[in-house]
Amino acid sequence: MESPQSADPYAPPQANLELSPDHANLIRRQGKLIVVKRDVPLPERCVKCNRDAQGIRLSPRLFHYHWWLTLAVVVLLLLFWPLALIVALVGRNSARVEFSLCSIHQRRRQVFAALALVFLSLSVVVPWIGFATPAIDHDVTIGLGIMAFLIGLVIAAVRGQPLRITQFKDDRLHLRGTGPEFRESFDAL
Ligand SMILES: [Zn+2]
């Protein structure tokens, strides 16, 4: 999107990402958070353990729901869920964040994603088995299905992305989820 300075595809990645002083100034640590200017890519080190990431680069779009938006969505969910969905989609903030993971942490991320998928699949399959089998109590299988759905959702929300945006402020993102070794490599804010 609007990232004219950071998006030169011909720049050597090492020089671009292994932090010139100017670039390092755009990334700071603050307690357990990393504060980074929007559209500034993080260096090519694993954000969890600070090891060489061996070229595993991710640039997911991360979403941020302000607390009042979360509250509004919960209230609307009880009243009329389609409206809650629309408010959540329109009201959330998002930014693409470019970072690296080592192979170990990349694999860990994939395991959690697969686990979330298994639970979400079970939330459909278990009630379906209930309906297809007259001897089984439908209420029980529907209950189990809802439980599997919620567990899958929580795993996806908590472990689906290595980094989470906790705050948008003055075009700066506050990111949670980095390891201490990675954070220590930046100056405190
Ligand atoms: Zn790692």
**Alpha-carbon span 62 to 57, nearest angstrom:** 15
Whole-angstrom CA distances from 146 to 33, 124, 140, 163 are 34, 9, 10, 27
Question: For residues 76 and 163, what is the distance between their CA atoms, to the nearest angstrom?
Answer: 28
pLDDT at 84: 87
For 10, phi then psi, to 5°, come to -95, -5
- Expressed in angstroms and rounded, the spacing between residue 84 Cα and the centre of ligand 1 is 37
Q: What is the pLDDT along the chain (189 residues), one digit of tens a residue?
A: 444 444 455 544 444 456 666 676 789 999 999 999 988 999 999 999 999 888 889 999 998 888 888 899 889 988 888 888 898 888 888 899 999 999 999 999 999 999 999 999 999 999 998 888 888 888 889 999 999 999 998 898 788 889 999 988 888 999 999 999 999 999 898
Q: Which two tokens stand for residue 141?
A: 């299988």
Read off the tokens for 97: 């964040």
Please choose, from the candidates 185, 166, 169, the residue with its C-alpha nearest in 3D space to the C-alpha of residue 33.
166
Spacing, Cα 161 to ligand 1 middle (Å): 14
Q: Locate 155 and state its tokens.
A: 């795993």
Strand ranges in the chain using DSSP code E only, listed in sequence order: 27-30, 33-37, 57-58, 61-64, 93-96, 99-100, 164-169, 172-176
Is the separation of the CB atoms in 172 and 37 below 8 Å?
yes
Give the model's pLDDT for residue 12: 43
**Spacing, Cα 5 to ligand 1 middle (Å):** 28
pLDDT digits (tens, 9 = 90+) for 134-150: 888 888 899 999 999 99
Q: What is the pLDDT of residue 131?
A: 86
The predicted structure's pLDDT at residue 22: 67
Rounded distance from Cα 41 to ligand 1 centre (Å): 17
User: Model pTM?
Assistant: 0.72
Helix, strand, or coil (residue 176):
strand
Radius of gyration of the chain (CA): 20
Q: Return the pLDDT at 18.
A: 61
Ligand 1 centroid to Cα of residue 183, in Å, is: 13
CA dist 100 and 13 (Å) reads 12
In the prediction, which pLDDT does 96 show? 93
Angstrom distance (rounded) from CA 95 to CA 97: 6
